[in-house]
Amino acid sequence: MAKVNVLVLRGPGTNCDQETAFAFQQAGAVTSVCHINALIRHERRLVDYQVLVIPGGFSYGDDIGAGKVLANELKLKLGEDIQLFVNNGGLILGICNGFQVMAKAGILPDIRQPAGPPLTLGTNDSGRFECRWVHLVTDKKSPCVFTQGIDSMYLPIAHGEGKVITDMRGLREIKAALYYTDESGNIQAGYPDNPNGSMNNIAGVCDATGRIFALMPHPERYIRFQQHPHWTRKKLKEHGDGFIIFQNAVKFARSK
């Protein structure tokens, strides 16, 4: 069986790296948690991995905007390495702060088309940090590798700047892969089902290849049934809804 190597990137303020690494380990990957400086100093090389993950947290304290400092580091110091990684068929997953980073670094909506529609993440419409569980549905037409075989999910969110913002061109062209919904599956549901006011209720976006994907909810926080808030009252599957995202990534990388 082919070995799948996953690099989980961390920096000052990252706080979901270990949980994300564990999720990939449980899915069968070999994971390495790596400080961004190790990549910048070429102590680690992206070409040695099949999957790059930018996990959640508050990189550099989100001091000048969520994910902005880390995004600048990726763009200015590692831009060529990331472009080569993508051109060679690598997968990139961004979770919460990772989504903010990827959007502001230009990795999404499409790293190969920097003149594409604008995409960023703004302050929640509520004006406060939102921390709760949300219902999600996937876009069945999406090419996203990570969401294949998934219809719906129930995952936790925890962010203050999760509102997907784009323009009219972006709403037409950006490839949404995941939407906030209410319990009945309505993807036009408002707050609190859409916890941040995200345009078109978008919770996750992928690129045209489906290999680059970012989402605001935290799949790594629900890979076991015991992590569900009602696990003592409901009969649940062994694995949580988020686990298949990691399984899909490992399966795809192993097939290449």
Whole-angstrom distance, CA of residue 207 vs CA of residue 8: 20
Nearest to 107 by CA among 124, 96, 93: 93
Average pLDDT of the segment spanning 208-221: 98
Average pLDDT of the segment spanning 44-59: 97
Q: Is 220 among the catalytic positions?
A: yes
pLDDT at 116 over 90: no
Check residue 38 and give its pLDDT. Answer: 97
**Pairing state between β 212-215 and 91-95:** parallel
pLDDT at 27 over 90: yes
Q: Given pLDDT bands bounded at 50, 70 and 90, which one contains residue 218?
A: very high
Which position among 73, 130, 161, 220 bears the catalytic label? 220
- 116 vs 97, more confident: 97
The count of structural domains within the chain is 1
Average pLDDT of the segment spanning 152-174: 96
Q: Given pLDDT bands bounded at 50, 70 and 90, which one contains residue 143?
A: very high
Check residue 91 and give its pLDDT. Answer: 98
Average pLDDT of the segment spanning 147-162: 98
Check residue 114 and give its pLDDT. Answer: 78
Nearest to 124 by CA among 16, 199, 186, 14: 199
CATH number at residue 215: 3.40.50.880
Average pLDDT of the segment spanning 113-123: 89
Report in angstroms the alpha-carbon separations of 136 from 43, 84, 151, 219, 230.
39, 32, 9, 11, 17
Which position among 16, 34, 161, 218 bears the catalytic label? 218
pLDDT at 1 over 80: no
Which position among 96, 130, 159, 228 bears the catalytic label? 96
Question: In what side-by-side order are the strands of the sheet with 152-159?
Answer: 30-35, 5-10, 51-54, 91-95, 212-215, 202-206, 175-181, 130-138, 152-159
Mean pLDDT computed over every residue of the chain: 96
Q: Is 161 among the catalytic positions?
A: no
Q: Is 16 among the catalytic positions?
A: no
Give the domain range for residue 183. Answer: 5-255
